[in-house]
Amino acid sequence: MTIEHIYREEWGRVLATLIRYVGDFDLAEDAVQEAFAVAVERWPHEGMPANARAWLISTARHKAIDHLRRHHRFADKLQELERLMPGEENFTESEHSSQTIPDDRLRLIFTCCHPALAVEAQIALTLRTLCGFSTEEIARAFLVPVSTMAQRLVRAKQKIRAARIPYAIPGTEQLPDRLETVLRVVYLVFTEGYAASTGDTLVRRDLCAEAIRLIRLLCTLMPKCMEAQALLALMLLHDSRRDARVDAEGNLILLEDQERRLWNAVQIREGIALVETVLRSERPGFYAIQAAIVAVHAQAQRAEETDWSQIVQLYDLLLRLHPSPVIELNRAVAIAMTEGPDRGLCLIDELAARDELTNYHLFPAARADLLRRLGRWAEAAQAYRQALSFVVNEPERRFLERQLKEAEARLASAS
């Protein structure tokens, strides 16, 4: 196991634990970064400790204490910190199991999702500090420029300091008010794991597993929350296709070309059972309808057996509930499968006229695919080039390059 792997796996947990004690995002983040810097320096020579997380928490704790001492401030906080922080050997997941939320990271996600902050600021701050997302990854999740997201993060931290918003774990009665935002955070963690926005791999299994772990905890914490159950179903059904989404070389395989025998039948059964349960509830929500769409795909034994008409109906319902250009794009693709690529392309071009998905690489990629199906190779090649100018994930880049090469070859042979 490499230090890079430890960083990706443990950053959020280590930071969540430290924030719980120091009550200061910036101080905790600085201390954890210093702890990892020490690890990079020492571990290659001294060897990785048996409990890397505990070592990092202990080192970060000492860094935080040193910082407080150097600046001669927070005397009471320093005394409290030294009293509360346990020894390295005592850092365990069950340490505070008696609290309302029995998990450090989930507790701090609820804490970050403070209603005094704008919802997007809550989500961005949580993804940055507790989930270890880069500003670039968060910006891509929100489809905004990196500079815009960086400013939002700075303003969120400034408001926390200026308004003296407490770093307090919310009481049981406050949890429902924060639940919607918490669900969005967990879903975005899964989304980044399922289709990584950057890097050399399409899937980040660590993030997928962590998001599923967190949503299972939420389902246990709030067993009557149907949207938490629906989000679990959505994640399980998506994750069930993980092993079929790339080939042995890590190249992307489209849904229609995947070997469905590789799909995880256990996850599919659990996911579909959850979907059936939440759809019987009084008012199925955003995640329930998305899960129902993925369930339709999961139930098709072959790609050509997919009930695209039902998927279009579900997208219609989803759009009424949650208007979004991304959902419109997905609906257009589904309509192309039922009414033909011409109709789908018409809808995509109408969406393009509104200029809402300018930097979203899947928009020109979807348009390119429909043009390819229509044999309009020159236009398809141009759309693939446009998609390539936005994509930063290597497997997706390789896929688009292959599609562009085919379009250019077809164009050359026709001339």
Task: Please check the confidence at residue 104 and state whether its pLDDT lies above 90.
Answer: no
What would the two tokens of residue 191 be?
């989304």
Distance CA 67, CA 269 (A): 51
- Residue 194 half-sphere exposure toward CB, CA atoms < 13 A: 17
Here the tokens at position 336 are 């192309």
pLDDT confidence of residue 116: 77
Of 238 and 165, the structure prediction assigns the larger pLDDT to 238
Determine the average pLDDT of the residues in 74-93.
47
Sign of CA dihedral 34, 39, 40, 41: positive
What was the pLDDT predicted at 75?
53
Tell me the two tokens of residue 82.
């030294």
Q: Output b/e per residue, 328-359; b: 16+ Cβ within 10 A.
A: bbbbbbbbbbeeebeebbbbbeebbeeeebee
Give percent above pLDDT 90 in the chain.
46
Band of the pLDDT at 87, cuts 50, 70, 90?
very low
Q: Is 193 helix (H, G, I), strand (E, B) or coil?
A: helix
Residue recorded with tokens 């500003």 = 135
Q: How does pLDDT run across 312-360, given as a tens digit for each residue?
A: 999 999 999 999 999 999 999 999 999 999 999 999 999 998 888 878 8
pTM over 0.85: no
Predicted confidence at residue 128, as pLDDT, reads 78
**pLDDT beyond 70 at 89:** no
Identify which of 402, 354, 411 has the alpha carbon closest to the alpha carbon of residue 249.
402
Highest mean pLDDT pick, 55-64, 92-101, 198-207: 55-64
CB 130 within 8 A of CB 108: yes
Distances (CA, A) of 391 to 59, 98, 140, 196, 388: 38, 45, 10, 11, 5
Q: Over 289-338, what HEC string results?
A: HHHHHHHHHHHCCCHHHCCHHHHHHHHHHHHHHCCCHHHHHHHHHHHHHH
Q: Which amino acid is at 274?
A: L
Contact 231, 287 (CB under 8 A): yes
- Interior angle at CA 209, CA 390 and CA 174, nearest 5: 95
Residue bearing the bigger pLDDT, 410 or 144 = 410
Amino acid letter for position 357: L
* Confidence (pLDDT) at 387: 95
What pLDDT is stored for residue 11 in this prediction?
79
Please name the residues in contact with 296: beta carbons below 8 A apart, sequence gap of 6 or more.
Answer: 306, 307, 310, 311, 314
Dump pLDDT digits (tens) for 154-206: 888 777 777 666 666 677 777 788 888 889 889 988 988 888 766 677 778 88
Q: How far apart are CA 62 and CA 48, in angstroms?
A: 19
Tally of CB atoms within 10 A around 50: 7
Q: Assess contact for 29 and 15: CB atoms under 8 A.
A: yes
Mean pLDDT of the chain: 85
Average pLDDT over residues 374-393: 94
Residue 86 is predicted with a pLDDT of 46
If you average pLDDT over residues 31-58, what whole number do you get? 91
Range in 24-28, 45-49, 76-80, 334-338 with the lowest mean pLDDT: 76-80
**Within 10 A of 41 (CB to CB), how many other CB atoms are there?**
10
| Interhelix angle 175-194/104-112, nearest 10 degrees | 110
Given a contact cutoff of 8 angstroms between Cβ atoms, the answer to whether 71 and 27 are in contact is: no
Contacts of 200 (CB under 8 A, 6+ apart): 250, 394, 395
pLDDT at 72 over 60: no
User: Average pLDDT in the 114-131 region?
Assistant: 77
Residue 101 pLDDT greater than 70, yes or no: no
pLDDT score of 84 more than 60: no
Between 152 and 254, whose confidence is greater? 254
Give the mean model confidence (pLDDT) for residues 290-303: 96
The neighbouring-strand residues paired with 252 are: 246
Cβ–Cβ < 8 Å for 288, 230: yes
What pLDDT is stored for residue 296 in this prediction? 97
Model confidence at 92: pLDDT above 50: no
What per-residue confidence (pLDDT) applies to 42?
92
Instruction: Name the residue ranges covered by the structural domains of the chain.
Output: 3-89, 308-349, 358-415
DSSP code for 172: G
pLDDT of residue 179: 87
pLDDT band at 114 (very low <50, low <70, confident <90, very high): confident
